[in-house]
Amino acid sequence: MFEGINIMRTVGKSIERRGAKEAVLGKATYADDIKVDGIIHLKVVRSTRPHAIIQKIDTSVAEPIPGVIKIFTSKDIKGPNRYGIINKDQEILVERKVRYVGDPIALVAAETESIAVGAVRAVKVEYEDLSPFFTIEEAKRCTTEPIHEGGNLLFSRDIIKGDVEKGFAEADIIIEETYTTSMAAHGYLETETGVGKFDEKGRIVIYVSTQNPHYDQRDVAAALGLDVDQIRIVQTTTGAGFGGKLDISVQALIALAVQHLKRPVKLRYTLEETMQSAAKRHALVMHYKTGARNNGRITAVEVKFALDTGAYASYGLAVLSRAAAHAAGPYEIPNVKIHGDVYYTNKIWAGAMRGFGVPQVGFAHEGQMDSLAKALGIDPFEIRMINALKPGSTTTTGQVLNASVGIRETLKKVKDAKEKREKNLKNKDITLKPWIKRGWGIASFWYGIGNTGLPNPSTAKIDMDDKGQITLYTGAADIGQGSDTVLTQIAAEALQVSDKSLGLIRADTSLTNDAGATSASRQTYISGNAVKSAAENLIQKLTEEASRQLKVSPGTLTYEWGKFKGSNKVITLKELAKKINRKGQIAIGEGRFDPPITLLDKETGQGIPYATYTFGTYYVEVEVDTGTGEVSVKHVIAAVDVGQAINPANVEGQIIGGVAMGIGYALMEEFNPGKTKSFTDYLYPTSMDVPPVEVIIVEDQEPSGPFGAKGVGEPALIPTAPAIINAINQALNIKIIDLPAKLERVMKILGKGI
């Protein structure tokens, strides 16, 4: 029915983002804005020890404080008191053993927030300290009580392709290096916040800032020993997440309080609590060994790396698997051996953060590529082009790529843009001070869309009421990335109606079906396909009804922009809606999509982890002050193959946002557990740190994507840091192997600092 449509009216257009005006005008309703009469305020008593047995929780001073209603401990939890994204290793309130400074021990409920804060300070906890493990090496050498019963090693992953020893024997040059990255904080401005109450159906309703309402519903219910339908999660306007709001934070604590107190409650983290107790980006240690021939062709790559997941698993297994699958980079390499481990330590737990481990390994594999290029005297663009994946290539997991492999096009377009820029700069008088060094660097990336080698479905529903109003129902949480807009555009294009005419209900477990997490850049591709399928299903049902109304065969009908035509007869969507309503029915279309993947082999890691990949290349210019070690990013050219840009302005915004975040990751952001407490001692880039960004959108369409689309949210970050580091290395003729490249580290490498 859609084959004859060549010109798209909605997809590919930069329509206004849904919710943008409300956000800009301050009219958006965040969880903290919800006002309920008689609301009770909650605050959390947290561990002051990294690893200890709780001997006693003394609430005798706190409970008599006027305004204190109740102090909850694990004894008040009727269910199993366990939750977690993959491993159920976290407790709503700790029963016996704390595992990091910040573990929740008790929950204070009071008439005001200030009273709750005072009561928290009055609660005393007695501990029996255990030996803590603060590094991966300490966790490995554990000879005392481990952090969890199963030991400090959480999981391992291997990927083996070909014969690396044979590959290294064939190499003319071998480059070995160990790279490290530190923990990083997400930096969303809205802290974890939620409001809970009972509704008219007796359900506990939680209005919360979240990235995955249906997961929240399942895990909160399970942890408290409730049926799933006793919990309703409604995602409020969310002030960003970047992966940090995938884990449960306030949800279960709110539900616990509502369950017992039968009154509305509110829990809002301070920024200090977010820093202390919300997930962080995994720190990695990565040893790379890369072999190549003199012509630049890579013969073998061996990688050994380890992740620090902190006190709890969270997304640690997923980050490990994704990092392993991407560790060799977007290159066709015949011989690969990758081994990764993830360890528990007694630090704040690490979870999902934009890129899921690929920014870390991207820093390493692109550092290796530049080292090879320098050693072999090959242009950095050329060595990447020599090895870049293409249609027909086989990845490190043995997957054959058949389409939408735009990495070479991004390299070409970035190189062309660089050369054009250099010609323009020749006409300008740029005189640098003697101590300022200028350099440029590039980095390429790939990113698998969706979960790694696991089922990854999404669902959607579209209905049309008796007045012809069409409404899209999706469980996808928009956290500022624009999925509300993109999914509406896909639905409008598939239905051939105006996007402005579509209603939208999203991320409410009572009204929408599960669309999966807003993570892994999956919503455009996976939920987009589910939405498109729902639209096509609705049109199919409407076609059958139109054929009955027009008394013609369905096969003779055509549908175009709100009208069914057949045998010189026409019926509009609104007219059909009325006809259907007279029968006491509602026209509903349902859609589901689960990308075609396979599980990875447990021994070799071979399989099809993702149905499609986003590719890209970034070019960065920097200036380095050799007197202070300060690095200034002066210009960025960013080319990303997104398959099809559903909303080009949104894509451009994601890429520029990824560049901004990547500048922080490269140069300044370093979370130190126990020391980093707020924005005052954790440096983020400001608008003054972000240079002009030339965005080049490459559209190598993905046949299985909705109108050819893939994803861009997480990929946009990945190449920024390695491109910046490669530019610094070129400017100073050095090799940076640790992130972030703070000025102190740059000065130390230059021999001017300590």
Q: What is the CATH number of the domain that holds 530?
A: 3.30.365.10
305, 236 Cβ separation under 8 angstroms? no
- Which of these three, 572, 593, 614, is where a domain ends? 593
Q: Which one-letter amino acid corresponds to residue 425?
A: L
Same domain membership, residue 259 and residue 342: no
pLDDT in the model for residue 753: 60
| Contacts of 641 by beta carbon, 8 Å cutoff, 6+ apart | 404, 405, 406, 407, 409, 410, 614, 615, 616, 698, 699, 700, 710
pLDDT tens readout for residues 29-44: 999 999 999 999 999 9
Question: Is residue 5 situated within a structural domain?
Answer: no
Residue-wise DSSP of 213-234 = HHHHHHHHHHHHT--GGGEEEE
pLDDT at 2: 34
Residue 16 CB partners (closer than 8 Å, separation 6+): 485
pLDDT at residue 752, as a whole number: 74
Single-letter amino acid, residue 620: V
Residue 697 belongs to some domain of the structure:
yes
- Distance (Å, rounded) from C-alpha 591 to C-alpha 458? 8
Structure tokens at 221: 């219910």
The DSSP bridge partners found for residue 205 are 197, 232
Compute the distance between CA of residue 298 and CA of residue 72 in angstroms, rounded to an integer.
Answer: 59
Residue range of the domain that includes 550: 20-28+457-593
Query: What's the pLDDT at 6?
Result: 54
The 10s digit of each residue's pLDDT in 638-686 is 999 999 999 999 999 999 999 999 999 999 999 999 899 988 899 999 9
Q: Are 492 and 499 in contact (CB under 8 A)?
A: yes
Mean pLDDT of 548-555: 92
Distances (CA, A) of 332 to 288, 305, 449: 16, 21, 19
Give backbone dihedrals phi and psi of 111, rounded to 5 degrees, phi first: -70, -30
Same domain, 296 and 257: no
Residue 174 in tokens: 């071998």
Q: How far apart are CA 170 and CA 445, in angstroms?
A: 26
Alpha helices in 164-239 (DSSP H): 164-169, 213-224
Position 427 pLDDT exceeds 80: no
Asked if residue 161 is part of any domain, the answer here is no
The dihedral through the CA atoms of 508, 512, 517, 522 has a sign that is negative
Residue 40 within a domain: yes
Residues 438 and 513 in one domain: no
User: Residue 754 pLDDT > 70, yes or no?
Assistant: no
Domain end residue (candidates: 570, 593, 616): 593
Q: Do residues 642 and 614 make contact, with C-beta atoms less than 8 angstroms apart?
A: yes
C-alpha separations of 652 from 457, 640, 645, 656, 723 in Å? 27, 10, 9, 6, 19
pLDDT at 3: 35
Measure the CA–CA gap between 451 and 86, rounded to whole angstroms: 12
Same domain membership, residue 448 and residue 461: no
Q: Using H for helix, E for strand and C for coil, what is the string for 313-343?
A: CCCHHHHHHHHHHHCCCCECCCCEEEEEEEE
Q: Is residue 491 part of a domain?
A: yes
Each residue's pLDDT tens digit, 683-697: 999 999 999 999 999
For 602-621, the pLDDT digits (tens) are: 999 999 999 999 999 999 99
CA atoms of 40 and 42, how far apart (whole Å): 7
- The pLDDT tens digits for 223-246 are 999 999 999 999 999 999 999 999
Q: Which two structure tokens, joined as six digits, stand for 434? A: 């003697």
Alpha carbon distance 729, 734 (integer Å):
5
DSSP code of 599? Answer: P
Q: Which residue intervals of 262-315 are DSSP H helices? A: 271-277
Q: What percentage of the chain has pLDDT greater than the value 70?
A: 99
- Considering the domain architecture, whether residues 316 and 428 belong to the same structural domain is answered as yes
Which uninterrupted H or E stretch holds 129? strand 124-129
Phi and psi based region of residue 453 (left: phi greater than 0; alpha: psi -120 to 50; beta: remaining): left
Task: Quickly state the pLDDT bin for 481 (edges 50, 70, 90).
Answer: very high
Which of 250, 313, 382, 366 lies closest to 727, judged by CA? 366
8 Å CB contact between 513 and 458? no
Residue 586 has pLDDT above 90, yes or no: no
Give the pLDDT confidence score for residue 1 in this predicted structure.
Answer: 33
User: DSSP secondary structure string, 348-359?
Assistant: SPB---TTTTHH
469 and 375 fall within a common domain: no
Residues 510/495, Cβ–Cβ less than 8 Å: no
Instruction: Say yes or no: 387 and 476 in one domain.
Output: no
Same domain, 323 and 255: no
Q: Is 6 inside a domain boundary?
A: no
Q: What is the DSSP letter of 13?
A: S
Render pLDDT for 493-528 as a digit per residue (tens, 0 to 9).
999 999 999 999 999 999 999 999 999 999 999 999
Using the predicted structure, report yes or no on whether residue 567 has a pLDDT greater than 90: no
pLDDT above 50 (res 5): no
Does the pLDDT value for residue 743 go beyond 50? yes
At residue 428, the pLDDT reads: 76
Quick one: CA torsion of 162, 165, 169, 170, rounded to 10 degrees? 10
- Picking from 644, 650, 686, 694, the residue whose alpha carbon sits closest to that of residue 668 is 686
Q: How far apart are CA 221 and CA 232, in angstroms?
A: 10
Residue 4: predicted pLDDT: 37
Q: pTM of the entire structure?
A: 0.97
Residues whose CB is less than 8 angstroms from the CB of residue 602 and which lie 6 or more positions away in sequence, other chains included: none
Query: Is residue 369 within 8 Å of residue 329, measured between CB atoms?
Result: yes
Give the per-residue pLDDT at 297: 98
Residue 211 is part of a domain; what is its CATH number?
3.90.1170.50
Matching residue, tokens 């975040």: 661
Cα–Cα distance between 244 and 234 in angstroms, integer?
A: 18
Is residue 243 within 8 A of residue 717, CB to CB? The reply is no
Helices (H), 171-250: 213-224
Q: How many CB atoms lie within 10 A of CB 541?
A: 18
Say if residue 366 is in the same domain as residue 247.
no
For the CA atoms of the chain, what is the radius of gyration?
27
pLDDT digits (tens, 9 = 90+) for 372-423: 999 999 999 999 999 999 999 999 999 999 999 999 999 999 999 999 999 9
Residue 39 is assigned to a structural domain of this protein: yes
Do 313 and 252 reside in the same domain of the chain? no
Predicted confidence at residue 430, as pLDDT, reads 73
Please state whether beta strands 298-308 and 693-698 pair in parallel, antiparallel, or not at all (unpaired).
Answer: unpaired
Q: What is the DSSP letter of 48?
A: S
pLDDT band of 425, cuts 50, 70, 90: confident
Are 637 and 687 members of one domain?
Answer: yes
Is residue 276 one of the residues assigned to a domain? Answer: no
Residues 649 and 721 in one domain: yes
For the record, the structure tokens of 3 come out as 């084959």
Q: Please say which residue of 529, 560, 593 terminates a domain.
A: 593
What integer best gives the mean pLDDT of the chain? 96
Q: Give the model confidence (pLDDT) of 150-175 as tens digits.
A: 999 999 999 999 999 999 999 999 99
- The set of residues, in sequence order, having a beta carbon less than 8 Å from that of 249 and lying 6+ positions away, is 192, 269, 277, 278
Q: How many domains does the chain have?
A: 3
Of 342-351, 395-404, 549-558, 709-718, which range is least confident?
549-558
Q: How far are the Cα atoms of 249, 290, 608 from residue 272, in angstroms, in the given order? A: 14, 42, 41
